[in-house]
Structure 1
Amino acid sequence: MPLSTTKQPCSCSASWMRAPRCSPIWAATARFEVRSMQYGLIGEKLGHSYSAILHALLADYAYELCPMPPEAVDGFMREAAFQGINVTIPYKKVVVPYLQEVGETARRIGSVNTVVKRPDGTLFGDNTDAYGFARMAESIGVDFRGQKVLVLGSGGTSLTACDVVRQAGGTPVVVSRSGNVTYADLPAHTDATYLINTTPVGMYPGVHAAPVDLSTLPNLKGVLDVIYNPLRTQLLEQAAQLGIPCTGGLRMLVYQAVRACELFTGQPVAPERAQAAEAALRAKSMNLVLIGMPGCGKTTIGQELAALTGREAVDTDQLIADEAGMSIPEIFEKEGEAGFRAREKEIIHREALVGGRILITGGGAIKDAQNRAVLRMNGYVAQLTRPLEQLATGGRPLSAGGLEAVEKLYRERAPLYAACADAVFSNETTPAQCAEAIREGFDEALRA
């Protein structure tokens, strides 16, 4: 899915490219100090940006986050005391009039996310989001040629997705709440073969929402969601359950930065370095989640994994007991299983979306469908198994009653464990051997 890199002289005939006049109000009231930097990111709010981390992984230059108010952009761009910058919301169109040259991709899309100062002092801008999106689509074998593609949302990322689809020979159909095609019109578009979500529906913290029900679109052969927090949105989870190839937005995030880095330095980023950067970012976001029957060894294996990986181990049962000021059997005695499950759900939903840790869950955590969903959103879920007769039962209220009770519990939960797990590991070797096998599976998932 090649993208054009043709560069065109900047023409100010288009209204979105006309330079604004320097505001006298800015000179009198601005508190933002224009300062020099080598490379960095400008935007209004950058608190959750991964850009500094990404560029440190991809290259060896200094890269700064530079949040600024709207009234500061004019002075910053006129001073141009930088070698190169990335640009994010809400300035992707605002910076264009200050550029002497605009790349063809940015010209088509109508916005810029990368600006480079050339040796002669002129500024060149382009849009690398399109390259990142194309790499994201390529990762699941998407071929837009001759295909009808539903693009949910009408903002800047929608424009990028539509451009990539058109350049590849596809036909994008933009779906929005108030555009020419609305969500109510989707029954007329069941022949669509790809769906792209560019809306924030499903993004943290509103993770239990999805923009559409994929079961109403029977001809889909690919689903792309530009959201990368969580890694697996509810939309992607449904796609996976329906057997539809799907991918989230982390790869787009990484490869737009790869292309920006190449524009900054004039040198290609080695594929191995780009892949390592993506794996590192995925590792930062992804938990290693342990599920399985009570007494199968999750706590022991979790501690082994913490020592092996350097990650913090978080035991949800221990958190429940600590916050309740009671042991698990005491909670069951005073509040019943329903009271315990309510506490468990609150803690799982709080802890599962933090990322970068070992999450040790209770044996019954998977009984709740929302628990299963949230554990998978930012998690590699490893199910531990052990012969039922070897399961420890002390201090476990629902395992009391001997082997017969344990077998009954397993029959009830086995399908739920299977639905939640990414992989299954037998805990019949030593804890160290079991932990090593899980770590290897986790590392492979990070590189996927």
Structure 2
Amino acid sequence: MEQRPCGLIGGSLGHSFSPQLHGMLGDYSYRLWPLTAEELPAFLEGRQFAGLNVTIPYKQTVIPYCGELSHRARRIGSVNTLIPMPDGSLYGENTDYDGFAALADRAGIDFKGRKVVILGSGGTSRTVRTVAEDRGASQVMVVSRKGPVTYEDLKGHQDAEILVNTTPVGMYPHNGELLVDPGDFPRCAGVLDVVYNPLKTAFILRAEELGLPCAGGLLMLAAQAWRAAELFTGKAIPWEKCEAAFRQLERQRRNIVLVGMPGCGKTAVGQFLARQLGRPLVDTDQMVEQKAGRSIPEIFGEEGEEGFRRRETEAIGEAGSHTGAVIAIGGGGLLREENGRALAQNGLLVFLRRPVELLAREGRPLSTGLERLREMYQERLPVYERWAQLSVDNTGEVADTAAAIIKEWEK
């Protein structure tokens, strides 16, 4: 008799990572079942599944179909995992609890004795509140647009020590939006965001700038799947498998962003990397030219550098929201702060170093003379070093440069 599959039910499941995660965590088939509200009762009563994950909008809807709820699922008032029991009933659990606890652990954030502010009042907010309370938070305050505590009231709570975002603010396609600035909380000692697309929201990037312990939501996604996989199989699964699944998914989604001086070889290295890794190449200079219908020298001639930079920022904002790409940006692309943030949200930024004397100059409006190039390099070097997580010399063969980047990226 064929074993019944596990799977995920929800309203819209087009971009779910659950099949990939469960494929790495357990030896069972896993399907996606997008269901309408009218289809849900018959599906649950049919029991043609070995285990289910549940996502929006059914995490509360499925509760009446459960014969038993775990203690924490009852406290949270939300179920994201259903297990058929031998007597034919359904057991409801909340593995988002495990996911958020793992996220906090990864960031090294301790709730004990601390005041926690949770942004948002939905189902995930209730999960976060339960974890924070169980871990000894001295106070947990939920902030929402229409709740007892609103965002206007936050000025009176700047003693908050842990900030957690459970809203969709900053989630793709609204990358860059920031609901609350961690810098407004002098005692802040940790920032967490359940959003995982982009990998680093503006909320997390701001926390990094401040040197605060922080983490985005991708590990939470992996860890809740790991615990669900244990429930589906009835077996303990080593944490290392969760860690490996998380790392693989993160690597697949992270862009490789090439930065450096004009003429340092970003396009050539980018083309080689894209072929080697089977990834699309996104060249922001080409994006600018295609949208303008003119070459970059023509844009400089007609609109000046300011006009070009404005167009470049628009292109970089679009490119930075991509995932799983190789991105090459113009030499001055990091001169604007917002461009660095746009690229850092999903990217590993790689600084390609090349001596000034070896930089290509033809067709580059700002590379008019060697002395000017030296001055430009000194001006831009601190910017490249600030944003880049990796620095690679590009003075030999393109293949060697690409191999060095891939080696570090795979770590």
Long gaps (5+) in structure 1: 1-35
Tell me the amino acid that sits aligned with residue 387 of structure 2. Answer: C
CA contact (8 A) 2:163 2:182 kept: no
How far apart, in 2, do the equivalents of 1:153 and 1:324 lie? 41
Pair 1:403 & 2:370 matched: yes
CA contact (8 A) 2:175 2:321 kept: no
Residue identity matched to 2:289? A
Q: Does the alignment pair 1:96 with 2:50?
A: no
Q: 1 CA distance for matches of 2:168 and 2:4?
A: 32
8 A contact 2:297–2:364 mirrored in 1: yes
Q: Letter of the aligned partner of 1:81 in structure 2?
A: Q
Q: Report deviation, 1:314.
A: 2.3
Aligned partner of 2:31 in structure 1 is 64
Report whether the alignment pairs 1:276 with 2:244. Answer: yes
Q: CA deviation at 1:193?
A: 1.5
Determine the structure 1 residue equivalent to 2:281. Answer: 313
Aligned-residue offset at 1:234 = 0.6
Aligned counterpart, 1:377:
345
* 1:209-358 aligned within 5 A: 209-358=177-326
2:44 to 77, 87, 93: 77
Whole-Å Cα distance in 2 between the matches of residues 207 and 251 of structure 1? 19
Aligned counterparts of 1:339 and 1:148: Cα–Cα separation in 2: 47
Is the CA contact 1:37–1:64 (under 8 Å) kept in the aligned structure 2?
A: no
User: Does 1:137 pair with 2:93?
Assistant: no
Give the secondary structure class of the aligned counterpart of 2:257.
strand
Is 2:165 the partner of 1:200? no
1:125 to 2:97 alignment: no
For 2:299 and 2:119, locate their aligned partners in 1 and report how far apart those are by CA, in whole Å. Answer: 45
Moved more, 121-130 or 402-411: 402-411
Alignment counterpart, residue 10 of structure 2, candidates 43, 60, 79: 43
Match of residue 5 from structure 1? none
8 Å Cα contact 1:399/1:405 also seen in 2? yes
Distance 2:94 2:278 in 1: 38
Distance in 2 (alpha carbons) for counterparts of 1:175 and 1:385: 46
* Aligned residues: CA RMSD: 1.8
Aligned-pair CA distance for 1:37? 5.5
Matching of residue 106 in structure 1 with residue 58 in structure 2: no
Cα offset for 1:51? Answer: 1.3
Among all aligned residue pairs of Structure 1 and Structure 2, give the percentage whose two residues are the same amino acid: 49
Q: Deviations over 1:255-295 (max 9, x none)?
A: 00111111011112233322221122112321000011101
Cα distance per residue 1:68-115 (max 9 Å; x no partner): 111222222222221111111111111111111111110110110000
More displaced stretch, 79-88 vs 288-297? 79-88
- Look up the equivalent residue of 1:426 and give its one-letter code: D
Q: CA deviation at 1:39?
A: 1.1
Give the alignment partner of residue 178 of structure 1, picking from 116, 140, 146. Answer: 146
Contact 2:200–2:216 (CA<8 Å) still a contact in 1? Answer: yes
Matching residue of 1:161: 128
Q: Distance in 2 between matches of 1:439 and 1:264?
A: 36
String of CA shifts for 1:329-361, please: whole Å, max 9, x gaps: 233223332333333233222222121111111
Amino acid at match of 2:200: R
CA contact (8 A) 2:266 2:352 kept: yes
Aligned partner of residue 146 in structure 2, secondary structure: coil
**Structure 1 residue 228: deviation in Å?**
0.4
Name the amino acid aligned to 1:287: N
Aligned residues: 408
Q: Which of 406, 428, 431 does residue 395 from structure 2 map onto?
A: 428
161-170 vs 76-85, which moves further: 76-85
Distance in 1 (CA, whole Å) between partners of 2:393 and 2:62 is 56
Counterpart Cα distance in 2 of 1:260 and 1:295: 50
- One of 353, 359, 366 as aligned partner of 1:391: 359
Q: What's the offset of the Cα at 1:403?
A: 1.6
The amino acid across from 2:339 in the alignment is N
**CA separation in 2, counterparts of 1:310 and 1:39?**
31
Aligned in 2, Cα 1:322/1:188: closer, same or farther, shift over 3 Å?
Answer: closer
How far apart are 1:163 and its partner, in Å? 0.2
Partners of 1:319 and 1:207 in 2: CA distance: 19
CA distance in 2, matches of 1:430, 1:123: 60
Farther-moved stretch of structure 1 (338-347 vs 263-272) = 338-347
Separation (CA, whole Å) in 1 of partners of 2:297 and 2:398: 26
- The separation in 2 between residues aligned to 1:317 and 1:177, in whole angstroms, is 41
- Going from structure 1 to structure 2, the CA distance change for 1:442 and 1:366 (only over 3 Å counts) comes to same
Aligned to 1:4: none
Deviations 1:291-330 (A, max 9, x none): 1110111122223322432322222223333444433223
* TM-score normalized by the length of structure 1: 0.87
The question of whether the paired residues in 1 share the 8 Å contact of 2:253 and 2:324 is answered with yes
